[in-house]
Amino acid sequence: MSKPSPIRYRTTNWRSYNAALKKRGSLTVWFDPMGEWEGLLTGHLGRQQIYSAAAIQTCLTLKVLFGFAL
């Protein structure tokens, strides 16, 4: 007796599928505590901090993947 083949479903509406996945659960992102995530002090009051390339790349990746705002 042969084993029946499993049913394969095709997703045709990816936008609603992704939205349902976002609503369904939570996302946990772990960062390396030894990484250089915080901005370096520039020594000037009121001036923006300078962030590492890893921190900038991580923020931009999360923005593109999940549609987050910076």
* Residue 26 scores a pLDDT above 70: no
Whole domain around residue 67: which residue ranges?
A: 44-70
- The per-residue pLDDT for 1 is 67
Is 57 part of a structural domain of the chain? yes
DSSP state of 40: B
Is 58 part of a structural domain of the chain? yes
Non-local CB neighbours of 37 within 8 Å, separated by 6+ positions: 31, 51, 52, 54, 55
Structural domains of the chain, count: 1
Chain mean pLDDT for the chain: 80
Is 65 part of a structural domain of the chain? yes
Is 64 part of a structural domain of the chain? yes
